[in-house]
Structure 1
Amino acid sequence: MKKSFTLTLLLSAALLMAFNSPTSVRPQCIAEKPLVQSNQVIIDWNMVALQACGGITYQHALLASHTYAMVHMAMFFALNAIAPTYQPDDALRKDAQAAPVAAAAKAAHDVLAGIFPEKLPMLDSALIQSLTKVPVGESLNRGLALGGEAAAVVLKWRDGDGAMQNPAVDVAASTEAGVYQTVPPFTFVFAPFWRTMKPFGLKQPDQFRSLPHPTLNSTVYTTAFDEVKAVGSIVSQTRTPDQTAYAKFWYEFSEIGWNRIARTVAADRKLDLLATARLFALLNMAMADAYISGWDAKFHYNFWRPYTAIRGAATDGNAATSPDPAWEPLMPTPPVQDYPSTHSALGNAAAVVLAHVFGDKTRFIATSTTADPVTATRSFSSFSQAAKENADSRVMAGIHFRFSCEAGLELGRNVGQWTVHNHLRPRLVGAK
């Protein structure tokens, strides 16, 4: 007990020194090799970010994804400043003498504290836990200072972007066929301001806007209507037990599920510290931008959900569709428009990033907080296979048309490819 108490005092003193240390310290040399230490600090703070957002029961998925992206960009900037390996290598001053774990943990801590100041006691505790194996001394102090600077850069960049607005917004009633209406139990549309949110890696929200959805009198629409009406119903006689299982399995928020997959694979492959920081930064930038791009398209097209379409089919001008006034989906319909499916977009954006780092044909076993039973797992032979099942699950759940999921997959692929081809690329040989 005495030893533990003494260690806590030493760490607290080190933190205090770092908070007050000058930012003008310069290293004598710049590291030439990537950091090869354990990636545990990245995985740990990915979980701390989840806790800070409210844990697995949080409801603001957009803000959570936004938070993940900020946290992991700050951690990447801090570590890349210690061992400049990837672009941009001018985001932060260089310090090869800074302790990597301290820099990464402090960067994550300060970003989360800036977003959720009420969570500071929990975040302070997590920071001290991260530093238990970092020797007290100048390297620790320098790491803490560098991490704080990385967090400040990211917080300043996102300052005033409007992410903290009230997301529940009233939507005007309409009887026009094809126009979005709220679906019980919700009486609002979620975060319409997100359609103009500043992206993390894209040039603008509508950069990859989905092409228009099928018209209500088209064969494509009729086929998709009949499919979701049959397999997506809460009392479906055609949905298989496995389809029901994966409809529930993939129902959890995408950023929760795909960050878990990334943690699993990064640990299994023993990815080094800097490479893991880059992976999680790219992953969460891509997913955050998939939300922003998806919201742009959703509000642009303002297309109704299957619940409204099936119950109101008598008004759609399509003689081939028949209404069912009592129809209910297997799972609750989220309070936002149908087209495109951002769940599908996030899944494919994440799959593209993971495939970029590990190769697509990577085997893994996934779990989910919405699995039934909760202990159920699913095995995959590739990231693309998982992304396709993730998209298909939304039809089986009765909450998306097939064409919305296909458009979401395309959107996610475009966002993911743009992210990995334009951000955090390896430095040019000989660059200073």
Structure 2
Amino acid sequence: MRDYVMLWNAVALEMNRRDHTGRMNAKNNRGPTASSRALAIIHLAMHDAFFGLTGRPPISSALAGLSGAINPYSNVAPHAPQPWSADNEGAAVSGAAAATMTALYPDFRTLVDDMLRGFQFGAGNPAFDFGFKVGAAIVDSRKSDGSSDSGGVDPIDAYWRHREDPTDFTQGLLGPRWGAVKLFSAAAIPPQNAHPAPRSAAYNNAHDEVRVKGSKNPTSGTPGVTFSQRSPFETIVGFYWAYDGASQIGTPPRLYNQIVRDIIARNVTGSDRAAASARLLALINVAMGDAGIAAWYWKYRYQLWRPILGIREYDNSFWHNRDIVSYHLHRRCDPWWIPLGAPRTNEPGKRSFTPPFPAYPSGHATFGAACFEMTRRFFGVAPNAADNLAFNFVSDELDGRAIHEDGSYRALHRRHYDSLLQAMFDNSVSRVFLGVHWRFDGIDESVKNPGDILTDSSDVGGVPIGRAIAKNIFENRMTKSAAAPGVVTPINLPPVP
């Protein structure tokens, strides 16, 4: 029997890939924020259409994410449920996918039409019409969720405030008001402690690390501070997890969906496979939808600069709004420092860049932790336990076809992970190796290896936010959030000495 949710998931990921043509300049759902929202809506619709059919066979799996009754997320009742059959299952899921994808990705509706022609059902089929109405209802329920609000937030008056990449003029800011979008399922935006204060010991340690590990020039580091140069392994990790909206690559939520597809294929077989796909893919995408909202909420409250500014402007003479002059240059300051950068894959001749939004917390770390923690919980792993959910995955950034900025092809790299906890860790620190994040943007400095994530109680960085969102949504069984859209108010931290 066909797994229609998995088929339509592949179409959604293809739309994400085609929609991004470089520097997150997508027409339909730009960047990780809007694309995570779109994926959440699409997978909620397929989930509700799938589980809204009546009389479907009982689910026998012992998987934690499928145990007990599974209630649809949305209000399915007004749309007369259809009886379950294999044909009706495919038709209902396809109707839900068609309604959401054509609304969210109008530029790529031919992909939907081509799929439907292959399935030989469409309008007039009662199960398809049921799924279509479910999808349309979910799209309609999100029309006033705040995602279309424009404008910005008040800038913090501090020298460490985020500004655009000085090597990428006119990049602007992505999503200043995204933190005010209505949550999908999380009860609230999780707490986030302040990042280390600039010039504190923890901040300086992170500064010294990224200055050498994330530099485009491998010899660039802080004089008198020992951090080894970025290794070939670390460079691989940086590129493997990138997915920075580059041409033909898409955004981070696409990457994490690709990995979960491999996890499902390895760990679920038999009659429960379709139900597992419907449930887990909805859970991870709803979690990432809320992770994007939470990460961007805190990004624009703290407004912390990226390494390209923090390293170039460390010296007192670069402080804005202060009458400070200097003759000597602080040893931690390099006004010409350039990061390895978020790769402009498949756009030869165009330079890598720093993403156009504040550093803290890391979106990659938040999205990845939400997705992988949700997957761990679905397969029955306790929050404080290690997992053995292994996977093999070839990243589109290193698939043998991806073109580097110098015009060369990057070699195909087949990568294995022993656990999702290991993947969560590498995904977070990968941003340091590209020079676009401080380590604490993803995880606290006390987290030295994947196992330390399980005991980290710092509430520093994106990993704790993502894990908290996954825990909340999983334990409330993905009920609809009652939380109203928030207001993003900048936090003016104490001045730097």
- After TM superposition, the score normalised by the length of structure 1 is 0.81
Match of 2:7 in 1: 44
Please say if 1:274 is aligned against 2:258: no
- Contact map agreement 1:353 1:417 (CA 8 A) in 2: yes
Match of 1:64 in 2: 35
The equivalences for 1:243-258 within 5 A come to 243-252=234-243, 253-258=251-256
Match of 1:6 in 2: none
**Structure 1 residues 374 and 175, CA, compared in 2 at 3 Å: closer, same or farther?**
farther
In 1, Cα distance between the equivalents of 2:280 and 2:154? 41
In 1, Cα distance between the equivalents of 2:20 and 2:366? 22
Deviation at 1:161, TM superposition (A): 2.5
Q: Secondary structure at the match of 2:177?
A: helix
Match of 1:361 in 2: 388
Match of 2:357 in 1: 336
Any idea what the Cα deviations from partners look like across 1:125-153, whole Å, max 9, x if unmatched? 22222x24x7x9x9x82211210121122
Match of 2:332 in 1: 322
Q: Secondary structure at the match of 1:379?
A: strand
Q: Secondary structure at the match of 2:396?
A: coil
Deviation at 1:114, TM superposition (A): 1.6
**Structure 1 residues 320 and 222, CA, compared in 2 at 3 Å: closer, same or farther?**
farther
**Structure 1 residues 329 and 175, CA, compared in 2 at 3 Å: closer, same or farther?**
farther
Comparing both structures, which one devotes a greater share of its residues to helix?
Answer: 1
Deviation at 1:49, TM superposition (A): 1.4
Q: Which stretch has the larger CA shift, 337-346 or 232-241?
A: 232-241
In 2, Cα distance between the equivalents of 1:383 and 1:211? 25
Deviation at 1:219, TM superposition (A): 0.6
In 2, Cα distance between the equivalents of 1:89 and 1:240? 46
Q: Secondary structure at the match of 1:393?
A: helix
Please say if 1:423 is aligned against 2:477: yes
Any idea what the Cα deviations from partners look like across 1:308-342, whole Å, max 9, x if unmatched? 0000000388x986210111111121000010111
Please say if 1:403 is aligned against 2:404: no
Q: Which stretch has the larger CA shift, 330-339 or 76-85?
A: 76-85
Deviation at 1:380, TM superposition (A): 0.4
The equivalences for 1:12-161 within 5 A come to 37-39=1-3, 41-53=4-16, 55=18, 57-58=20-21, 59=24, 60=30, 61-83=32-54, 85-88=69-72, 91-93=75-77, 94-97=81-84, 99-129=88-118, 131-132=119-120, 141-161=125-145
- Contact map agreement 1:249 1:368 (CA 8 A) in 2: yes
Match of 1:348 in 2: 369
5+ residue gaps, structure 1, are 1-36, 426-432
Any idea what the Cα deviations from partners look like across 1:358-415, whole Å, max 9, x if unmatched? 3431111112122273521210011110010000101111111111111111111111
Match of 2:168 in 1: 185
In 1, Cα distance between the equivalents of 2:159 and 2:116? 53
Deviation at 1:43, TM superposition (A): 1.7
Q: Which stretch has the larger CA shift, 98-107 or 298-307?
A: 98-107
In 2, Cα distance between the equivalents of 1:90 and 1:410? 28
Q: Which stretch has the larger CA shift, 409-418 or 170-179?
A: 170-179
5+ residue gaps, structure 2, are 25-29, 57-68, 220-228, 244-250, 320-328, 342-352, 382-386, 403-409, 444-460, 480-497
**Structure 1 residues 215 and 264, CA, compared in 2 at 3 Å: closer, same or farther?**
same
Kindly provide the amino acid, as one letter, of the partner of residue 47 in structure 1: A
**Structure 1 residues 410 and 276, CA, compared in 2 at 3 Å: closer, same or farther?**
same
In 2, Cα distance between the equivalents of 1:156 and 1:374? 44
In 2, Cα distance between the equivalents of 1:186 and 1:45? 38
- Contact map agreement 1:355 1:383 (CA 8 A) in 2: yes
In 2, Cα distance between the equivalents of 1:92 and 1:340? 36
Q: Secondary structure at the match of 1:362?
A: coil
In 2, Cα distance between the equivalents of 1:320 and 1:353? 44
Kindly provide the amino acid, as one letter, of the partner of residue 222 in structure 1: N
In 1, Cα distance between the equivalents of 2:176 and 2:74? 35
Q: Secondary structure at the match of 1:63?
A: helix
In 1, Cα distance between the equivalents of 2:137 and 2:261? 25
* C-alpha RMSD over aligned residues: 2.6
In 1, Cα distance between the equivalents of 2:277 and 2:154? 45
**Structure 1 residues 347 and 91, CA, compared in 2 at 3 Å: closer, same or farther?**
same
In 2, Cα distance between the equivalents of 1:384 and 1:154? 32
Kindly provide the amino acid, as one letter, of the partner of residue 117 in structure 1: P
Kindly provide the amino acid, as one letter, of the partner of residue 356 in structure 2: P
Q: Which stretch has the larger CA shift, 69-78 or 81-90?
A: 81-90
In 1, Cα distance between the equivalents of 2:308 and 2:281? 36
- Contact map agreement 1:86 1:424 (CA 8 A) in 2: no
- Contact map agreement 1:333 1:399 (CA 8 A) in 2: yes
In 1, Cα distance between the equivalents of 2:478 and 2:127? 21
1:261 aligns with one of 249, 259, 262 = 259
Q: Which stretch has the larger CA shift, 80-89 or 307-316?
A: 80-89
Runs of 4+ aligned residues of structure 1 deviating over 6 Å after TM superposition are 169-175
In 2, Cα distance between the equivalents of 1:89 and 1:288? 14
In 2, Cα distance between the equivalents of 1:311 and 1:126? 51
Counting aligned pairs with the same residue, the percent is 28
- Contact map agreement 1:301 1:339 (CA 8 A) in 2: yes
Kindly provide the amino acid, as one letter, of the partner of residue 264 in structure 1: D
Q: Secondary structure at the match of 2:416?
A: strand
Q: How many residues align?
A: 378
In 2, Cα distance between the equivalents of 1:203 and 1:395? 31
Kindly provide the amino acid, as one letter, of the partner of residue 185 in structure 1: D
Q: Secondary structure at the match of 1:189?
A: coil
Deviation at 1:349, TM superposition (A): 0.7
Deviation at 1:186, TM superposition (A): 4.7
Match of 1:30 in 2: none
**Structure 1 residues 320 and 421, CA, compared in 2 at 3 Å: closer, same or farther?**
farther
